[in-house]
Amino acid sequence: MSTIDFKSIRRDLHQIPELGFQEFKTQQYLLNYLTNLPADRLEIRTWQTGIFVKVYGTNPKKTIGYRGDIDGLPIQEETGLEFPSSYEGRMHACGHDFHMTIELGVLTHFVYHPIQDDLLFIFQPAEEGPGGAKPMLESDIMKEWKPDCIFALHIAPEYEVGTVAVKEGLLFANTSELFIDFKGKGGHAAYPHHTKDMIVTASSFVSQMQSIVSRNVDPLDSAVITVGKMESGTVQNIIAETARLEGTIRTLSAQSMESVKERLEALIEGMKISYECEIEVNYGSMYRQVFNNPEWTNHFMSFLRETNRNLIICKEAMNGEDFGYMLEEIPGFMFWLGVDSPFGLHHSKLNPNEDAIDFAISLLTDYISTIK
């Protein structure tokens, strides 16, 4: 294992970012690596574009799980790296190339240095959407191999390499995509009284929507509604018949998510009457909160302190992660891994420090080896 250049593996994976459930080259790359490991020490099963790998323990009493995500994002890369994405308009802008590489490193270590218990490594597709964790959790393979505990990490550009940030309880928010379609009546710009202008309607809706958080969510709770994309119209002298808003809802509590959606739908009903139009809402992918099991999280934090790793007790964040579905059924935790990049997650210039790869592999192999 000492001869394996995991930074080179990360660079290979960085060049083939693929969208959710389209990770065919990524899956094949991972399988090519995995099938070169000793076959008598592990078992590999594929699930859609994902992979389950069981690494056999010497005298198993339980199964320890670890999950990494494998998909990229629809972002045009602007890093200037010598190993850029080979796909136009796609990039590993959320660090999943790091996540996969670290997982391969940890898996490889335990193939050659087995512990008592079995290990289950999950290479999960479609974390960025439409969500691979929930269907993978419900798969027959997972039901057969379901681990007794499970862990995951996410890169954190804002922290230095060598830093781990974590907290017990709520780490990431409840999230929901948001798609709203408006349909009115188009026409000539000179005769607005004969039309139902959906640019005016959608613009008014965006403004009114902001009152949902400020006036319907407990100020001691937190919620965010963001519209990131608006499409409408064709040319400057035609009144738009349709409009589409695309955005996201994020809340720190499941109750607030329901409350936000109820108010959103009430606002829609009022807008239909006020602007004499049709409006349809679709919530797309919805992710559960990431809630770190207190017992396991404190066990991990104690390990970090005892081994003099740089630990930060962080605050909860409005990020979304479908690993929350797995933590609903399996005790465990997710933590932030410092990668020291001046550009943040989902940025076209995200460039994590590769020194974090070896640090994370060492950290996780050491930690997992302590689990009794």
Length of the chain: 372
Nearest to 173 by CA among 232, 225, 222, 104: 222
The pTM (predicted TM-score) of the whole model is: 0.92
Q: Which amino acid is at 201?
A: T
Predicted pLDDT of residue 217: 87
Query: If you search the block for the tokens 């929930």, which residue do you land on?
Result: 134
Residues 72-90 have pLDDT tens digits of 999 999 999 999 999 999 9
Predicted pLDDT of residue 218: 83
Predicted pLDDT of residue 3: 81
From the list 18, 69, 77, 177, the catalytic residue is 69
CB 163 within 8 A of CB 310: yes
Predicted pLDDT of residue 1: 52
Predicted pLDDT of residue 154: 98
- Spell out a b/e string for 26-37, using b for 16 or more CB atoms within 10 Å of the CB, else e: bbebbeebbeeb
- Asked if the peptide bond before residue 130 counts as cis, ω within 30 degrees of 0, the response is yes
**What is the token pair recorded at 266?**
């009430």
SS3 per residue for 125-164: CCCCCCCCHHHHHCCHHHHHHCCCEEEEEEEECCCCCCEE
Nearest to 205 by CA among 232, 223, 185, 187: 232
Instruction: Please report the beta strands in 197-331, taking only residues with DSSP state E, as ranges in sequence order.
Output: 223-232, 238-239, 242-251, 278-282, 286-287, 290-292, 310-313
**What is the token pair recorded at 256?**
């607030």
- Please provide the CATH number assigned to the domain covering 175-286: 3.30.70.360
Which residues neighbour 218 within 8 Å (Cβ) at sequence distance 6 or greater?
A: 256
Predicted pLDDT of residue 235: 97
Residue 219: other Cβ atoms inside 10 A:
8
Instruction: Please report the beta strands in 41-141, taking only residues with DSSP state E, as ranges in sequence order.
Output: 42-47, 50-55, 63-69, 118-124
- Residues in the chain with pLDDT values less than 50: none
Which residues does residue 55 pair with via DSSP β-bridges, in sequence order? 42, 119
Whole-number Å distance between alpha carbons of 169 and 292: 5
Whole-number Å distance between alpha carbons of 241 and 232: 8
- Please provide the CATH number assigned to the domain covering 6-172+289-370: 3.40.630.10
Predicted pLDDT of residue 285: 86
CB 108 within 8 A of CB 5: no
CA distances from 281 to 228, 236, 275 (A): 15, 27, 16
Which residues neighbour 303 within 8 Å (Cβ) at sequence distance 6 or greater?
A: 366, 367, 370
**What is the token pair recorded at 366?**
């050491």
- The angle at the Cα of 154, spanning 88 to 102, to the nearest 5 degrees, equals 80
Predicted pLDDT of residue 219: 84
Torsion of CA 194, 200, 205, 210, to 10 degrees: -160
128 classed as catalytic: yes
From the list 71, 128, 321, 322, the catalytic residue is 128
Helices (H) and strands (E) in the chain, counts: 10, 17
246 classed as catalytic: no
**What is the token pair recorded at 26?**
């990524």
Question: Where in the chain are the domains?
Answer: 6-172+289-370, 175-286
Task: Report residue 174: phi and psi, to 5°.
Answer: -70, 135
Nearest to 131 by CA among 316, 261, 325, 289: 325
CA distances from 212 to 109, 206, 259, 271 (A): 50, 11, 9, 14
